[in-house]
Amino acid sequence: MGHTGAVWCVDADWDTKHVLTGSADNSCRLWDCETGKQLALLKTNSAVRTCGFDFGGNIIMFSTDKQMGYQCFVSFFDLRDPSQIDSNEPYMKIPCNDSKITSAVWGPLGECIIAGHESGELNQYSAKSGEVLVNVKEHSRQINDIQLSRDMTMFVTASKDNTAKLFDSTTLEHQKTFRTERPVNSAALSPNYDHVVLGGGQEAMDVTTTSTRIGKFEARFFHLAFEEEFGRVKGHFGPINSVAFHPDGKSYSSGGEDGYVRIHYFDPQYFEFEFEA
């Protein structure tokens, strides 16, 4: 029981009743969070890269990889209509012929999704009509991660082009850029401070040939408004694949290619620190 391939994405709905997972075994599954019971199995033609519940928890979306001759698609199911699940017929399927989706989240109020592409492009797709509402290209390489702020009004992207950028969720207007010397795999916004944490490092395939020193597997903290770095946390000996703040903003955690998940609590100085301005 369960997935038979790598699980690429997980999402829970707002009241944590259901969990959605997408996997390289060419399926997306819906689970009951409390009991762990599989509620739905949606078969796909290729690996499921991203998945998510909308704001109200009624609609799910997932995107598939461009793989084995199949296109990249974003599929939308309305959970309130069980026939869609039973027949594995999404109410909408958006094809992405140009560049596959590497990361995607729901926009505010569940009206659209925001997708990051392999090319570095960002698209806002309507969840009703499927049309592209906004298209921007601020990154030059693949977008590895998109994370929304707590109030969902803005989001931060992490890209292979060594930067993370801040955008407005509604207009997709570019706000800020945070530069590093290594590919950024994940970036998260603090829920209560104007801070952003970036995780990344030398790509996993190159790591064996270089020392951890050159890999720069550090979590790096930037000020959101000034774009200036003010802190680093060392510890991982492989690239960081994922970072997240605790909802209370008093700690953060990071998961690395080295197989460790590290949970760090901030020192009192972190809360006192202020830029001279």
Partner 1 sequence: MQDAENVAAPEAAEERAEPAQQQPAAEPPGEEPRPGAPGAQEAADGEDEEAEAGPGPEVPVEPAADGEEAAGATPGPSPPPPEEPASPAAAPAEDEDDAPGEQARDAAAEARSDGAGGVQGGPAEDAGAAENGDADEPSFSDPEDFVDDVSEEELLGDVLKDRPQEADGIDSVIVVDNVPQVGPDRLEKLKNVIHKIFSKFGKITNDFYPEEEGKTKGYIFLEYASPAHALDAVKNADGYKLDKQHTFRVNLFTDFDKYMTISDEWDIPEKQPFKDLGNLRYWLEEAECRDQYSVIFESGDRTSIFWNDVKDPVSIEERARWTETYVRWSPKGTYLATFHQRGIALWGGEKFKQIQRFSHQGVQLIDFSPCERYLVTFSPLMDTQDDPQAIIIWDTLTGQKKRGFHCESSAHWPIFKWSHDGKFFARMTLDTLSIYETPSMGLLDKKSLKISGIKDFSWSPGGNIIAFWVPEDKDIPARVTLMQLPSRQEIRVRNLFNVVDCKLHWQKNGDYLCVKVDRTPKGTQGVVTNFEIFRMREKQVPVDVVEMKEPIIAFAWEPNGSKFAVLHGETPRISVSFYHVKSNGKIELIKMFDKQQANTIFWSPQGQFVVLAGLRSMNGALAFVDTSDCTVMNIAEHYMASDVEWDPTGRYVVTSVSWWSHKVDNAYWLWTFQGRLLQKNNKDRFCQLLWRPRPPTLLSQDQIKQIRKDLKKYSKIFEQKDRLSQSKASKELVERRRTMMEDFRKYRKMAQELYMEQKNERLELRGGVDTDELDSNVDDWEEETIEFFVTEEIIPLGSQE
* Footprint of partner 1 (CB under 8 A): 14-15, 55-57, 108-110, 151-154, 168, 170, 175-176, 181, 191, 194, 202, 210, 213-214, 224-227, 247-248, 275-277
Q: How far is the CB of 37 from partner 1 (least distance, A)?
A: 20
Of residues 71 and 126, the one with the C-beta less far from partner 1: 126
What would the two tokens of residue 144 be? 């590895």
Q: Residue 41 Cβ, how far from partner 1 at the closest point, in Å?
A: 27
State the nearest-atom distance from the C-beta of 247 to partner 1, in Å: 6
At 189, which amino acid appears? Answer: L
Per-residue CA distances from 179 to 154, 163, 270 (Å): 19, 5, 21
* Shortest Å distance, C-beta 14 to partner 1: 6
- 93/137 with CB nearer partner 1: 137
Six-digit token pair at 100? 């596959």
- Which residue's CB is nearer to partner 1, number 33 or number 214? 214
- C-alpha to C-alpha distance for 232 and 271, rounded to whole angstroms: 15
- Six-digit token string for 250: 């008093």
Question: Closer to partner 1 at the Cβ: 121 or 161?
Answer: 161
Q: Between 66 and 223, whose beta carbon lies closer to partner 1?
A: 223
Q: In a 3-state reduction of DSSP, which class is residue 27?
A: strand
Q: 7 vs 152, which CB is nearer to partner 1?
A: 152
Nearest residue (CB) to partner 1, 46 versus 163 = 163
HSE-CB at 245 with a 13 A cutoff on CA atoms is 23
CA dihedral of residues 127, 130, 134, 136 (deg, nearest 10): 110
> Six-digit token pair at 214?
């050159």
Considering the complex, what minimum distance in angstroms separates the CB of residue 177 from partner 1? 12
- Cα 179 → chain centroid: 19
Least distance CB 215 / partner 1 (angstroms)? 9
Per the CB < 8 A criterion, the answer to whether 165 and 156 are in contact is yes
Burial class (CB in 10 A: 0-12, 13-18, 19+), 146: buried
Per DSSP, 272 falls in state H
Tell me which H or E stretch contains 251. Answer: strand 251-256
Give the SS3 label for residue 212: helix
Distance of closest approach, residue 73 Cβ to partner 1, in angstroms: 26
- For the CB of residue 97, give the shortest distance to partner 1 in the complex, in Å: 30
Identify the H or E element spanning 180: none
| DSSP state for residue 164 in the 8-state scheme | E
State which residue, 123 or 169, has the beta carbon closest to partner 1.
169
